[in-house]
Structure 1
Amino acid sequence: MKSPTDRLPWPLLLCAAAVMGMALGTRHAQGLFMLPLLGERGWGRETFALAQGLQTLVWGALQPLTGWLADRYGAARVIATGCVVYAAGLLLEATATSPAHLALGAGLLTGLGLTATTFATIYSALSRAVEPAQRGAALGWAGGLAGFFQFLLVPLAHSGIAAWGWSAALQALAAMALGCALAGMQVRDRPGEAATLDQSLGALLRTALTQRDFWLLNAGFMACGFQLAFLGVHLPAYLRDAGLGPQAGVHAMALIALANAIGIYYAGRLGERYRRSHLLSALYALRSLAMLLFISLPLSLSTLYVFAWVMGLTWLGTVPLTSGVLAQLFGVRYLGTMFGLVFLGHQLGGFLGAWLGGRLFDVSGSYTAMWAIAIGLGVVSSLLHLPIRDRTVGLGAQPA
């Protein structure tokens, strides 16, 4: 007898992972572009941080709409269109001659592209495309493979910057994003077929908005966005300021991406065996502890690499677990929309993490306050996830 893993639709998973790996890997490498871009243009760090914060905010604000379009009309066309928009944003970023130009490309357009090429759209499509018993394995494998592709993009982006300059490297990433539109067209799901009862979206939203667990999940996810955006945008610069040099940032971001591939996979699989809300609580607690130890111990390459590895293991492992909690609570018929709503909280936190990091640095010349805020929010998030009850409340919900 074949196992559920043997019956997984591997071509679908590989295409989904390629798109998500491209989108997240390109975003993950943005911190490598900050100092060379700003050095050539003569802008302050707040300029780059504001563009990245705008990207995060657009990603969150428009994610429910993009998720609904994928839920309603199918994911393939939405994902392919998102790849084209993402490519346009990267091209504008590569040729930006003013802060407004940078904000349009690196902020608005790439943020819009991310809504169609990442978690809400792809995970909801996979959740509808496979049987419930395969869902944990499908999300784990897709996320893990995407994380591995993300890991590969970090040294590739650094090598591109060194060989061609930051602008040409961004243009190469834009060409890759455009090519991923072909893979996106293959991520076909079954829109509208997942629910056993025909519950309207309006009724589901009214149910969700009255549920304490929905709001706890929203509030807790905000801390995740804050921490990841702060580290993704500012960690390479923080390390350079500390005297470790540009290679340290590259190696740290690459280690985070590699460990992230492992963390996403095992988070998805562990979610099949243990309560997802408790696993989320543990991840946030571990992440905050890692940050506290990192800034408390003397900074060295050894402490940096251990920190990067631990952070990577917890980096995006929160996503399949959060998606799984939502599937348990509200079913998979409108999972893209529901995840988009929760993801809005994540991205509000991400906007603050990216922009506030640059703002506080320009004012104080230090990231000390940002580390303290990130650690405190992680502790709060860990506590918020403990009382979440993993049980069905939406009509027509299916087990995750």
Structure 2
Amino acid sequence: MRKIRLLLDQLLILALCNSTVLWAIVPLASWIKVFIVSGLILFYLIYLLSAGGRTDKDKKLSRIAKGSFLIDGAVISLVLHTAAILAFIIIGGSGLWRQLINGLAGYALISFTAFVGIIRLLISSKQVNAVKYISLMFTWYIPVVNILVLKNISKSAKKEFRFEQAKQELDDLRKENEVCKTKYPILMVHGIFFRDWQMFNYWGRVPKELVRNGAEIYYGCQQSANLISVSAGELRDKIEEVIRETGAEKINIIAHSKGGLDSRYAISKLGMDKYVASLVTINTPHYGCNFVDDILAKVPDGLLRFVAKRYNKLFTVLGDTAPDFEKGLRELTHTNCAKLDTELPDDPDIYYLSVMSVMKNVFSAGFPLNLGYILNRKDGTGNDGLVVKESALRGENTLMINHNGNRGLSHGDMIDLFRENIDGFDVREFYVGIVKDLKERGL
């Protein structure tokens, strides 16, 4: 039905695009022509606003659907208008200048339609990446190529709409079940070189999905880079704060990267074992990162201090009280983490799960993860761009995420860093599954 309406709409827009020539060759009274053209202009304005009339309770999804509808329409109109121009040239009878004005005016109208569609997607779509918009900027005037680029943009937008709509329907179906309503609140602990910002959530779209399904979420809020012992002390304070605020006996911790080491330290050395029911570590370097050892051995001390000074200054402005880039980095060496692991035994009263994913090639992620992937290849049977598989899978309970595609899953993919819908792996649903399992365990 949508395709039929789209085609019918384009026939009316085609008439408007070619109204300059049609005015000259259609034998009707002038007042009738004025009436028809006015009606077509009114239709076009309504068309831009309604864009297929598809609505969704999520306004963002409505804008995505309408944006892709306008782009699809522009592609069809572009083909039809080009065919009409050629037909008018063959038929003749309207004059060269009139045909030229008619052609340019029609293309301008179609371009504006596509522009409105693109604006809708720019505002709402997270899956149409910048590369596609930039490609359009440089190819919009190239015949055929512009059509292919527009179709690719529309395809990505429609795929996002279908995915998000299905997710919305799934959440609606299980809303009453509150599958993520665990006995204890959840503390999400970030990794190194990041903070828990309000404007940019480290965990991407994951927390909202968990809350939507009944979870009670808190954040670690430790500094972006420092000694594990210092970060663990900050986590201890946060855990005690959550316990006081909620009245809960314990908490569940989900920690990514170095956050897993910070959490283990707080549990084993700072007395937080009595407040922790479970610890799920995501791509955590329990035994360190060999490539960090390599970097520290090869990078001149002067350069390291220069980078550290700039980093510490920047993150002090961004909210850290005493960030220390160099100390935080040195904590992740294989030597340090292997030694620390012996000092942080698992508590038998706490449920532990270590999760890991791997990239499959250098194109699985952008810089610096693609560089990390290359540097890490000599040290294990797979890595995520920062951590090797053997370092992350620790303890009795392990979960290896095997992605069926050619891409694999990077260190950033596991926290929805890029807000990307990855074929074959729904990161939000993955965390729903993790938390649902905690609930079923009575935690």
TM value normalised by structure 2: 0.24
Alignment TM-score, normalising by the size of structure 1: 0.27
Larger proportion of strand: 2
Report which of the two structures shows the higher radius of gyration computed on alpha carbons: 2
Kindly indicate whether structure 1 or structure 2 has the higher relative contact order, using CA contacts under 8 Å at least 6 residues apart: 1
